[in-house]
Amino acid sequence: MATHATTAIDIDQLCINTIRTLSMDAVQQANSGHPGTPMALAPVAYCVWQKFLRFDPDHPIWPNRDRFVLSNGHASMLLYSLLYLAGVQAVNPQYETLGQPTLTLDDIKRFRQLDSKCPGHPEYRWTSGIETTTGPLGQGVSTSVGMAIAGLWMASRFNRPSFELFDYNVYVICGDGDLMEGISGEAASIAGHLKTSNLCWIYDNNHITIEGHTELAFSEDVATRFIGYGWNVTRVGDANDLGMLARALNVFHNTNDRPTLIIVDSHIAYGAPNKQDTSGAHGEPLGEDEIRLAKRNYGWPEDAKFMVPDGVREHFAAGIGKRGHDLREAWIEKFDAYSKVFPNLADELSRMQRRQLPDDWDHDLPTFPADPKGLATRDSSGKVLNALAKNVPWLMGGSADLAPSTKTRLTADTFGDFELDNRRGRNLHFGIREHAMGAIVNGLSLSKIRAYGSTFLIFSDYCKPAIRLSAIMELPTIFIFTHDSIGVGEDGPTHQPIEQLASLRAIPGLITLRPADANEVLEAWKVIMKLRHSPVALVLTRQALPTLDRTKYASAAGVEKGAYVLADAPDGKPDVLLLATGSEVSLVVQAFEQLSLEGIKVRVVSVPSWELFAQQTQEYRDSVLPPGVTARVAVEQASTLGWERFVGPKGHIIGMGTFGVSAPLKDVQKKFGFLSESVAEAAKRVLRG
C-alpha cells in the first residue's frame, strides 16, 4: 500500500484517483466494460458521497437514507468502487446485516465475471447499496422520481411535530443517453409538475455517445428544456472542480420548490495529450499502454493494479461513514421515542419496511353473488382495490390518465390526490406517460410503498421495459391492465390487444392474472397482496361478465393455484377438457352445459395464471389436466402462442392469428369464432380425433 500526504486537498484527490484506477483496472482485467465515464465522473460521485450523502455504510437499508442512483449504469465501476471504499455492509433478503462487506477487492477483480457481485450493470438485491437496477438508459432517472414521491409521501404520512422521520433526498447521476431517451422527458415533466424538491439529477454533459459526438443527433438546449419542465437548473463548468460541485449541491439543498438539475461539463482525457475518450460509451478497455500513461498523469505507480493507498478507506470512514452512522443513530433514537408516542404508526412503518401486511388486511372485502348479467372485471377489481386500500395504508397508485376507465381511483375522501398541497394523497395522476409510470411505480416499490399503475392492456407495451426491470429486481409491483381483448370492439385493431398477453407471460418472474368473473378477481387480489418478491400484471375486461354461481361451480379460491377444475363430468372422468381464461371462461361454461346435455363428459378448467399453475406440484397439475385426456380445447381472445403446452398435439386452440377489426363486440366475436357453438363443435372434433 502506498503512503501519501494527508492534506485535505491531497486526500480528496487521492480518493478520486483511487476510484479512477480501480475502474480502469477492473475493466482492463475483465476485457469488457466502460472505463471512461467512471474516470470522468469520479470527482462528482466522490463529492456527493463523501460530502453530502446521508447514508450509513453499516446499515445500507436505513429507511431515511439518501438514495443514490447511477442511471448511466454502464459506468457501474464508479458505483462499485464507492461501495468498496465506503465499506458498505451486506444485507440478506430478510433485511439482516451480515457483518461482512457487500464487496471485497476480489469482487472488483472479478468485475463482469460469472456470479460476481460486480455485474456489468448495477443490480438491486444482488449487491447491497445499489438502490435500483439500471441498465436501459432513462430507467434510472425515471425510477428516481418514484423514490422522491415516496419520500414526500412518507414524510406526510409519518412525520409528526418533533418527529421528522423522513426527509431524505434522491441523487442521480445520468448522461446524454438518459436524457435522449423519451422516458426521461416524461419523468422529468411529472417531477417538475409535482415539484419534487428532494430530487437532484446530475447530468454528465460529456458530448459522447457510441457513434461519436452528440452533435450527430442531439443539439437541444437541455437547460432550457428543464427550465420549461419547472426545474431549478445550475451548471458546473468542470467536473473536477470540487468547490463548484459542492456549491451546486448546496443550491439543491436550499431549493424547496422544485427539483434540481446540475449540468456538469466533463471531458474524458487521459494518457496521450488531447485524447478524447468514447470508451465510456461503447465499452472498450483502455489497454495497458494507455492505463500506464493515465496512471503516470495521476502520479500513480504505473504497474500497480487494484491499488488502494493508505488513508483512502479511512477517509471514507471518517466522512460518509461517521456522518451516516451518527445520523442513523439519531434516527433510531428518535424512532424509539416515536414508537412510544405513536405505536400504531410505528408498527405500520415497520411492517411496510419489511413488506408485511396489517393483521386485518383482508377485512370487509366485498362478496359477489351469482349474477347472469354480472359486471366487468375492471369494476369488481375497483371495488376490491378500494376495500384493500382502507386496510393497507401504504397501498397507492394511479393510472396513465385512465382512472375512470381502469377503475383504479381510490374513492374515499380521506385518500385524496397526491399533489403539491397534499403530499398524503394516495391517488397518483401520471398523465399520459405510460413509460414513466412503470418506472415510477418501481421507484415507489423500492421505497417499500405497495404501488400500482394502470392503463389499457394494449399500452402495456409502453410499460414493458419497467415491468421487465421489476421482475429482475423481484419487486411486488402491481400493473393493472383493462380493455383486455378484442372485446374492446369498435375501437378496432389499434386498441385490441392480441400479442400482449403472450409477451407478458414471456417475462420470467412476472405473474400474469386474467380472472374470469368478480369472485376470481377477489381471489386474484388476495394472491397479489400476499406476494413480496413478484410483480403482477392483472388483466381485466371492459365488458360485463356473468358472476358464476359458485354453489353450482367450484370455488374461485382455486385461483391461487393458477388453474383449477371449475366444472366437471359427473364421475370426474372427462373425455374432453375445455380450458380458458378471463372473459372466455363463461363462454366455455356455456359450451360445457350444451355438451353435457348431449351426454359428452366434459371438464372446464379456468386458467387465470399460467405462472401460478407452473408453481404447483406435478401431482396437482395432472389432477387438473389428466395426461390421459388428450382431447382438449383452449379458448382465449388473444394470440394462441403458448397454449400448445396445455392442449398438446391432439388439441385445438380457438384464438387470434390476426389483428382485430372495428365493430360491435358481438360482431367481432362472431367473426373470429368466439361463440359457445364454435367451442362445442371444436370439442367434438378433437374427440373424433
Alpha carbons 504 and 457: distance in angstroms, whole number: 10
What's the rounded mean pLDDT across residues 181-207? 96
Is residue 7's pLDDT more than 90? no
Angle between helices 36-47 and 8-30 (to 10 degrees): 150
Residues 6+ apart with CB under 8 A from 193: 230, 431
How much of the chain exceeds pLDDT 70, in percent? Answer: 95
SS (H, E, C) 365-402: CCCCCCEEEEEEHHHHHHHHHHHHHHHCCCEEEEECCC
Q: Are 198 and 158 a contacting pair, CB within 8 Å?
A: no
Distance, CA of 456 to CA of 496 (rounded, Å): 9
Distances (CA, A) of 627 to 574, 614, 624, 632, 652: 12, 15, 9, 11, 16
Whole-number Å distance between alpha carbons of 625 and 634: 12
Q: For residue 507, is it left (φ>0), alpha (ψ between -120 and 50) or beta?
A: beta
Sorting pLDDT into bands at 50, 70 and 90, what band is 266? Answer: confident
- The Cα 551–Cα 548 span in angstroms is 9
3-state helix vs strand vs coil in the chain, percent to 5: 45, 15, 40
Arch. (CATH architecture) of 8-266+279-327 = 3-Layer(aba) Sandwich (3.40)
Nearest to 295 by CA among 6, 3, 22: 22
Amino acid at 642: G
Integer Cα distance of 440 and 262 in angstroms: 21
For 274-307, the pLDDT digits (tens) are 344 433 344 578 899 999 999 999 999 999 999 9
Q: For 357, left (φ over 0), alpha (ψ -120 to 50), or beta?
A: beta
Give the C-alpha distances (Å, rounded to integers) separating 314 from 2, 15, 39: 14, 10, 21
Contacts of 507 (CB under 8 A, 6+ apart): 467, 468, 471
Q: In what helix (H) or strand (E) does residue 546 lie, and over which residues does it extend? A: strand 544-547
Instruction: Return d(Cα 398, Cα 449) in angstroms, integer.
Output: 13
* Strand partners for 235: 263
pLDDT at 184: 98
The reply to whether 131 belongs to the active site is no
- Which helix or strand (DSSP H or E) is residue 584 part of? helix 584-597
Nearest Cα to Cα of residue 151 among 169, 124, 173: 169
Q: Which of 224-233, 247-256, 259-268, 519-528 has the lowest mean pLDDT?
A: 259-268
Rounded CA gap, 596 and 590, in Å?
10
Above 50 in pLDDT, residue 643? yes
Q: Which amino acid is at 445?
A: S
User: Rounded distance, CA 529 to CA 27, Å?
Assistant: 42
- Distance, in Å, from the CA atom of 164 to the CA atom of 156, rounded to the nearest integer, reads 10
Residues 270, 274, 275: CA angle, nearest 5 degrees: 60
Strand pairing partners for 160? 163
What is the value of pTM for the model shown?
A: 0.95
**Contacts with 224 (C-beta within 8 Å, 6 or more apart), sequence order:** none
Query: Rounded to an integer, what is the distance from CA 674 to the centroid of its chain?
Result: 35
pLDDT band per the 50, 70, 90 thresholds, residue 269: very low
Fold for the domain defined by 562-688: Rossmann fold (3.40.50)
> In three state form, how does the secondary structure of 297-343 look?
HCCCCCCCCCCCCCCHHHHHHHHHHHHHHHHHHHHHHHHHHHHHHCH
Domain 371-546 belongs in CATH node 3.40.50.970 = yes
Q: What's the confidence (pLDDT) of residue 273?
A: 35
Query: Where in the sequence of the chain do the CATH 3.40.50.920 domains occur?
Result: 562-688
Query: Which tens digit of pLDDT belongs to each residue from 532-583?
Result: 999 999 999 999 999 999 999 999 999 999 999 999 999 999 999 999 999 9
The pLDDT value recorded for residue 211 is 64
Residue whose C-alpha cell reads 388428450 in the numeric block: 630
Q: What is the rounded distance in angstroms from the CA atom of residue 229 to the CA atom of residue 223? A: 10
312: its cell numbers: 483512502
Is the CB of residue 15 less than 8 Å from the CB of residue 273? no
- Grid coordinates representing 122 are 448495477
pLDDT at 217: 80
Mean pLDDT of 96-117: 95
Query: Which residue in 123, 181, 434, 584 is the catalytic one?
Result: 434
Q: Look up residue 614 and give its three cell numbers.
A: 407452473
Question: Is the CB of residue 409 less than 8 Å from the CB of residue 427?
Answer: yes
- What H or E segment, with its residue span, contains residue 481? strand 478-482
Pairing of strands 450-456, 395-399: parallel
Q: CB count, 10 Å around CB of 393?
A: 17
Mean pLDDT of 42-61: 98
In the chain, residues under CATH classification 3.40.50.970 are 8-266+279-327, 371-546
- Among residues 662, 660, 684, the alpha carbon closest in space to that of 673 is found at 660
User: pLDDT digit string (tens) for 325-360?
Assistant: 999 999 999 999 999 999 999 999 999 999 999 999
- Location of C-alpha cell 435522449: 180
pLDDT of residue 397: 98
Greatest alpha-carbon pair distance for the chain in Å reads 94
- Provide the 3-class DSSP secondary structure of residue 48: helix
Average pLDDT, the chain: 94
The rounded distance, in Å, linking the Cα atoms of 397 and 394 is 10
Per-residue pLDDT at 271 = 40
> Which cell numbers hold the place of 1?
500500500
* Lookup: cell for 635: 379458448
Residue 505, number of CB atoms within 10 A of its CB: 18
Beta strand 602-606 with 564-567: parallel, antiparallel or unpaired? antiparallel
